[in-house]
Amino acid sequence: MQWKRNLWFLSIAVFLANISFTLTFPFMPKFLEQLGVKENLSLWSGAMVSFNFLTYAIMAPIWGIFADKHGKRNMLIRSGLGIAFSYVLMGLVVNHWQLLVLRGLNGLLAGFIPAAIMLIASNTPDFEIGYALGILNTFIALGSIMGPFLGGSLVHYFGIQLTFFISAGLLCLATTLALYGTKEKVFAGSQTKIIIWQDMKVILGNRLLMVYFFCMVMLQTAIFTIQPILPIRIAELTTVNVDFKTGAIFSVIGISLAIGSPLIAKLRRVSYQVILLYGLIMCAVFSIAQGLTYSVTYLGIERFLFGFANAAVNVSGNVLITQCASEEMRGRVFGALNGLTALGAVFGPLLGGFLGERFGTASSFHGSAVMFVLAGFAVWSIRKRTAKINITNNEGV
C-alpha cells in the first residue's frame, strides 16, 4: 500500500534530516566562542535559535497554504534543498553576525519534518494515523540520538564548519529519498480557492483545537527554554570530556523518544486526551528534577525519563490535532500549528537565556515546568469534551 511506502521512505528521510539538524546544534555556544563571542554567551546562543524560529514562524503558515495548494511533497523537497543550501553557507561564516543572518535564512526555508508529518497525516487512513505518526516520531527521535553523538566526534576531529557541510549532504540524501520514494494523493479541497482569513476564523472557532495548539506551543517553548542553556549547564557540572557528555545528554532524550513514541501510538484503548494530560504532568515533574540536580549522571537519567513524557505529549497532540481537521485542511492547520510552535521556539531560548543569566541555569528548567503545568490545566478544562470534531473548509464563513 502506498501509505506504508510513504511512511517507511519518509521515516528514513526524517531520520537523516534530524541527524543533520542536530549535528551542530548542541555545539552552537562553542562555535560562537570560536567566532569571537566572549560576553553574553547565553543570550547570543538563545538569539541564534530564536531568530531562526522567528523567520520560520513568519513563513510556516504560508508554506502550509502552499502545501494544500501545491502538495505536501513539493514543500518537503523545497525545504530539504533550501536548508542544505543554508548549511553550506553557515560553514563559510567568519563572524557571529553572518551566522545570525544565515540562521534567519535557514528559518525562512525550513519545514522538512513538519512537511513530512503533514504528508503522512494527509495520506494515511484515519485508523492508522496514530500508528504512522508513532513510527515517524520514532525515526525523528533516532535522528536526535545519532546527531549529537556523531556531531561530538565530527566537531572534535574535523571542526564545526566542516560538520555544516556534512549536514548539507545528509539533507540532500534525505530529500532524494522523499523525491523518489513518496507519492501524494490530491484532495478536491486542494483545488479550491484558499482564503487565509476564512481559514483562520474556522480554526480559531474550534476550542478543542486551540487547546491542543496551546499544549504543543507550551511543549516547544519549554523545550527551547532549556536547549541553549543545557550545554552551559553541563559545562558547569563537569570539566572532563565536556563535548562528549554534551552530545550524550542531548542524545539520551532521543533514545526514550524512540522507545516511547511507538508504545504511545499502540495505546488505542486509552484516550489520547488522557495520554496528553499525564504526559504534560510528567514533563513538569522531570523538568523540576533536572533543575535540582548537581550531577551530570543524574541529569542524563532525568533527561532520559523526560523523553518518555515528551513522546506522550508529542504523539497524542499530533493525533488529536489531525482528528480535529478534515483532510483538505490539514496542511493549513499544521501550517498554523508550525507557525505558533515556532513562536514558542523564538521566545523559549530568549526566556531561557534571560533566566540563565539572571538567576542561574537551573532556573530555566523550573521555568519550563511552569509552562507544562499551564498546558496541563488547559487540557483538564476540556477533559469531558470529545476530540473527534472535524474542521471543514467552509468557504463564505
Which domain CATH number covers 157?
1.20.1250.20
**The three grid cell numbers given for residue 308, joined into one nine-digit string:** 518518555
In a domain? residue 392: no
Q: Which residues pair with 325 in a beta bridge?
A: 391
CA-nearest of 335, 316, 334 to 379 is 316
**Assigned C-alpha cell, 136:** 515517524
What is the predicted pLDDT for the residue at 224?
85
CB 46 within 8 A of CB 95: no
Domain contains 170: yes
Domain ranges, residue 251? 2-181+192-381
Asked whether residue 186 is domain-assigned, the answer is no
Under 8 Å between Cβ of 85 and 109? yes
Is 390 domain-assigned?
Answer: no
Distance separating alpha carbons of residues 91 and 100, to the nearest angstrom:
13
In a domain, 333, yes or no: yes
Contact, 108 vs 56, CB < 8 A? yes
Does the pLDDT at position 397 exceed 60?
A: no
Residues linked to residue 391 through DSSP beta bridges, in sequence order? 325
Mean pLDDT of the region 338-343: 81
Eight-class DSSP state of 194: P
Number of domains in the chain: 1
pLDDT reading at 393 higher than 60: no
Indicate yes or no: pTM above 0.75: no
Note whether 374 and 225 are within 8 A (CB): no
Terminal Cα distance for the chain, rounded: 37
Instruction: Pull the grid cell for residue 115.
Output: 512537511
Q: What tens digit of pLDDT does each residue of 27-44 get?
A: 788 888 888 888 777 778
Mean pLDDT of 353-381: 88
Does residue 277 lie within any of the structural domains?
yes
The answer as to whether 395 is a domain residue is no
Out of 24-28, 141-145, 302-306, 350-354, the most confident range is 302-306
Is residue 388 assigned to a domain?
A: no
pLDDT tens by residue, 203-238 = 676 778 888 889 999 998 998 888 778 888 888 887
